Structure 1
């Protein structure tokens, strides 16, 4: 719903009927009925059907109607609008609603309720406009694979349609009136709310920059060092713009749980200052599900049974009773109304002012929030994208897909006794993969896939029929997972253009695969943020800014800000060890010994907590063998795939006011490389061993070749920029507040090379060149100044 002016409420036909008329169970056993996944292919079929009709057929007819509503003392007007697929002007007028689906039409005995309701809305609007006593509705279903069609036609009396339509809008009125009241209350409170802190150096300019960006419908890229207060500096002006009616919804997007917590705390702080805001954080289904496994069907879960009959009441109760909609509250209300907490949470996002969640809820084509982004309509959304440097690799992964030959054979084995047709489809795809495998020694770029796409399309359709027919068998979960991988692969196939490379290679265990690799995600990101008014990308490590602007969908008209550090030079000592290298050609016992000596000297001058960051687990474990430990010096080493409790335990060793030296060995880019916040003397120093360059592999080498050809910067795009970002993030763990003081040691001679120095942030100057003979003196002087 979108309130454009006082007491005028706009809502689409589709949103109206899908919200009011939904009912029944959640059932993940039903595959292929929803047309959302078929949207791109469905659009093609829509156009084909429309073109095949005669002269009396009008396609894509915009329709709208404004209905006065009186409720709870409010006099409102609903503007219900949409676009009819077709209107047939013959002796009798017929509204045509086209639905392209993967479902076998033999299973379809009558129109799907929500689809028919959309058509009836258009029929009423058109009949009223043309003063018709009767009007026909035709539901046209088309199977995407076969293009076979099935029709359902019914004639309606205008008076019956009018009564039905007005009942529909009256059901929606309680929601609209509530939201109207809430928006007035919210806007008035926000207009009174002041910035909750004293402005730090550069912070006021940052706040103004964000506000001007939103006002001008632009995008902004912010490189802001730790301590500037990036979160409040982006949130506050966006909330103020919402209070003035410029912004209708805020999406705060992050890559990690800890940054979502910071966002929640920031919005809570504004609420404490008097702002009336409703925010909700989306928790992943696996984390919020009350069942041991996410079996979303009425047989396995009592909450799935009849969920849609009860969920609207649950959402309305929560919205009218709570503002800060936490995970705990969602669990409480979902239990009270016996509904799925995850699906309930998604419904709350429709009405919340602020949605906090992972990047994928906006950018991932598989899991993005379709209720907001399924069409091309532009809305007054603002996207606040925290730690935006992470989005480049995440977006590449979201828009890439992989398929394994071994998975095809495994599914063939599992379904062999059930369906000869499905086995035949799997055999055809396996043969295609076998031919590709014969052409691939190590890694091979695929320019032509022949009939592979067609064979995969037929396999997809056949798998849907199989999964509907065989709803219960022992290995169904494995088959279903492969089906989802297959559908994702097919969806990504539609994106392939010059920004993609298709290649084949082998996994470490020898499994053969074909990969649709997104090399440049800027087009997809630009399309996503284009659904809103503005996007603000911010990070402490967004260098070089032009690279990130390019990769994150920016253009020449977008803004960029480099915020100055609020910290004094005296708070930080940055040193570079110039006689060490982590290059593979230099790695040896002698070099490992030298690195360990540097670390021991670095922690020698002051008792405290230190982190040492390495480019890999292998190098980290090699160096650990050479460390000098004692009763007053302990070493803690990050393990691979640590659980959340293990991570918290690791961090708990680094306490305030330490009485002994504790050293944490961590991996750059890992769970301790960014996002953690050890303030004051919980962390007083960091050693960064190596330049963080990604491991050489087929994918990286393809990136290098791709960007060398197009930008003459293959090494930079594939290795240098991602590597230095990890270095900058690791170093950023040390100075977090105005009270912090700490030292940073970069250990690799490459840090003196021009291309690396060019990526140093401003606050890294001046820095000090050290070796094993003078590092202790430099540290002694630095810590001595602290005492003075």
Structure 2
């Protein structure tokens, strides 16, 4: 029964309150950088990252002490933090000390030394300041303490080992929950199984209607015992995907002859799981944080004994019974669950819980990412940050006295930046580097707000400003050719300074390296090299396409190659497009979707169609639609209904909506979906050209046609569907464009043009 020292201590030595005060915790990257800075200051004899192993009370322990000085016989444990160290609770300090003393015990047992000096180093990454707490301890005392911790953990470890055996035995004979696979689903499952067993990285293009959720979960679960993998992470880029995964896992569980001992956890966003969003996350403010770790063992046992998946609602019920915070109970259960269903940010963003746990415990993880074509844009957002002058000025006007000096220093640097950048309108200015003079003032403001909020009632505006500044400074430290610094002035007091990520590969590559096998799947993942390069997947990542369950005779793809939808030609295209829509509708009456590149273009063609054919029912998307308005738009596509819905390509109705049967019989796509040819995208094109040699394709062509394929894919959702797709633009007929469209759209004799 193996366990990481840190995991052992977090299980057996944590006591007291949950304490996530306003002090912003360093990210994993912050921690690595902070450790490296402290380690670099030690002498040449210093040994960083000292690997330690040993057996105690039936447990195989492993870990890495942050450093060892052989001349002083001193073990160091480095903890990075921000803000006043005196605010660190005694319970947190006790946990840190327990971890350090566990390393000391293993070191003495491994080297035969009678004693060791122990140093707990607290490093303030905001102030570049070390605070060191030293003590000496005998080998016997340290080993006795370690034995107590191991005794406390051993019963749980035995329970976990028994669960693992039962889980693996059950997965060896896991049954598919239906009598047969859908067409193409068996090939999908076999491919996923081989990829997991070979511990490889694979991008899989599998069309809609194939049953991708079960077709990936089932073989990935079967592979767990065969590969010795510890966990399965099923990640989604859209919320509906989580529910599909949970439904699939429930179907697998219910179909087995005996109960399936598989712990399934749903991780939800804090906004959805927090019971007291108006309270700070510490025992003095929130009743669910007070005594959290004292009541956690009983709640944790209740959670592992729960019959069924640990969904958000199930966790909430357990948390209520034990007076605990459900959000942080879910975080705890991520340590003890076999399958975690979550958003992609839980593995890929700067604070990713699952990445941290994987590294800490040396887990072997099977990773499945659904709707992976969205990951490029999602990841760019994770590693971008914006400072808003309006938020700064508002805080400055309302600031309490202690915060006025640091706010004034930031405002002064902002004014200097505005004079230097000198934008005269809303057009952005792209800076060659981060304004270095601004960063110290931002760090000072973060520290000042942190200390103020610790002693004062919650202030959401100040908290948001603090995290904006913190996100910006963190990304500024890692700034490179993968990102762009942009200054934009939208009017007096409305300027913005942003770090915008262009190439997420640099940040994501370590996340992919940490997992055992990777599967990214979607209906639109071609060309594979584009996603491999932009996401930082390993060079040996495979790309494979699964045969579609749909047939060319189900869809009629028609090209309006005499119409141009380029910006200069849009006015002239209004009447021809309206005529085409009206003609198709009268030829075959039913429900249609028409996609355009912008709301302005949509509105122009809509008005023309109303003039030409006032008898055709129409409805349209508009900016800022509420959830109810979106649902009303979708509800208009009733079975047996007639009319044309107008939408923007790449918007809320471009993917993720299901309108099978007669609810939708056709689509018009009046755009290639190309991003605007503006200065920002031109810089992106140049960076991608320099890095990968395919600037135009990676910036414009591939992302645009991916949106087209997603939108047109709304038409055929089941093997029984029939429909028509109109591709409106002369460029669709070009061989280099047409070859990027799904090949099953075309009869076999035409697939030479439509192949990958």
Q: TM-score, normalised by structure 1?
A: 0.87
Whether 1:729 aligns to 2:710 is: yes
**Alpha-carbon separation, structure 2, partners of 1:493 and 1:450:** 9
Secondary structure of the 2:474 match is helix
Give the aligned length: 743
Contact 2:204–2:522 (Cα < 8 Å) also in 1: yes
Note the alpha carbon deviations across 1:30-63, whole angstroms, 9 max, x for none: 31466757313312223123337xx5x5543221
Matches within 5 A, 1:633-644: 634-644=617-627
1:218 corresponds in structure 2 to 200
2:753 corresponds in structure 1 to none
Whether 1:155 aligns to 2:147 is: no
Task: Label 1:22 to 1:670 Cα distance change in 2 as closer, same or farther (>3 A).
Answer: farther
2:79 corresponds in structure 1 to 99
Note the alpha carbon deviations across 1:469-503, whole angstroms, 9 max, x for none: 45466893222211111111122123323323333
Contact 2:266–2:341 (Cα < 8 Å) also in 1: yes
**Alpha-carbon separation, structure 2, partners of 1:497 and 1:536:** 29
Deviation at 1:609, TM superposition (A): 2.8
Secondary structure of the 1:542 match is coil
2:53 corresponds in structure 1 to 64
**Alpha-carbon separation, structure 2, partners of 1:378 and 1:159:** 29
2:318 corresponds in structure 1 to 333
Name which of 272, 290, 299 aligns with 1:287: 272
Deviation at 1:378, TM superposition (A): 5.6
1:550 corresponds in structure 2 to 533
Deviation at 1:109, TM superposition (A): 9.7
Contact 2:564–2:573 (Cα < 8 Å) also in 1: yes
Note the alpha carbon deviations across 1:423-478, whole angstroms, 9 max, x for none: 453245324423442378733332244633xx424532453244324546689322
Contact 1:363–1:525 (Cα < 8 Å) also in 2: yes
1:14 corresponds in structure 2 to 6
Task: Label 1:547 to 1:89 Cα distance change in 2 as closer, same or farther (>3 A).
Answer: closer
Query: Which runs of 5 or more structure 1 residues have no equivalent in the other structure?
Result: 1-8, 69-76, 770-788
Name which of 577, 581, 604 aligns with 1:595: 577
Deviation at 1:200, TM superposition (A): 4.1
1:624 corresponds in structure 2 to 606
Task: Label 1:246 to 1:309 Cα distance change in 2 as closer, same or farther (>3 A).
Answer: same
Task: Label 1:339 to 1:534 Cα distance change in 2 as closer, same or farther (>3 A).
Answer: same
Contact 1:614–1:666 (Cα < 8 Å) also in 2: yes
Deviation at 1:283, TM superposition (A): 1.5
Contact 2:423–2:489 (Cα < 8 Å) also in 1: no
**Alpha-carbon separation, structure 2, partners of 1:140 and 1:711:** 43
Contact 1:38–1:102 (Cα < 8 Å) also in 2: no
Task: Label 1:17 to 1:527 Cα distance change in 2 as closer, same or farther (>3 A).
Answer: same
Secondary structure of the 2:608 match is coil
Whether 1:115 aligns to 2:107 is: no
Deviation at 1:607, TM superposition (A): 4.2
1:754 corresponds in structure 2 to 735
Contact 2:35–2:66 (Cα < 8 Å) also in 1: no
Task: Label 1:304 to 1:107 Cα distance change in 2 as closer, same or farther (>3 A).
Answer: closer
Contact 2:578–2:608 (Cα < 8 Å) also in 1: yes
Whether 1:312 aligns to 2:293 is: no
Secondary structure of the 2:702 match is helix
Note the alpha carbon deviations across 1:625-651, whole angstroms, 9 max, x for none: 234599995433224333434433433
**Alpha-carbon separation, structure 2, partners of 1:108 and 1:305:** 15
Deviation at 1:728, TM superposition (A): 0.3
1:41 corresponds in structure 2 to 33
Matches within 5 A, 1:551-700: 551-588=534-571, 591-628=573-610, 634-656=617-639, 658=640, 660-700=641-681
Note the alpha carbon deviations across 1:120-154, whole angstroms, 9 max, x for none: 11122223344555444222333334444333233
Whether 1:745 aligns to 2:721 is: no
Query: Quick check: 201-210 or 330-339, which moved more?
Result: 201-210
Contact 2:279–2:458 (Cα < 8 Å) also in 1: no
1:706 corresponds in structure 2 to 687
Secondary structure of the 1:331 match is helix
Task: Label 1:148 to 1:687 Cα distance change in 2 as closer, same or farther (>3 A).
Answer: closer
Task: Label 1:134 to 1:270 Cα distance change in 2 as closer, same or farther (>3 A).
Answer: same
Name which of 365, 385, 399 aligns with 1:415: 399
Contact 1:187–1:245 (Cα < 8 Å) also in 2: no
Note the alpha carbon deviations across 1:309-333, whole angstroms, 9 max, x for none: 3233212202112232222211211
CA RMSD of aligned residues (A): 3.1
2:385 corresponds in structure 1 to 401
Contact 2:406–2:441 (Cα < 8 Å) also in 1: no
Matches within 5 A, 1:259-274: 259-274=241-256
Secondary structure of the 1:674 match is coil
**Alpha-carbon separation, structure 2, partners of 1:173 and 1:645:** 52
Deviation at 1:103, TM superposition (A): 3.0
Deviation at 1:299, TM superposition (A): 5.4
Q: TM-score, normalised by structure 2?
A: 0.90
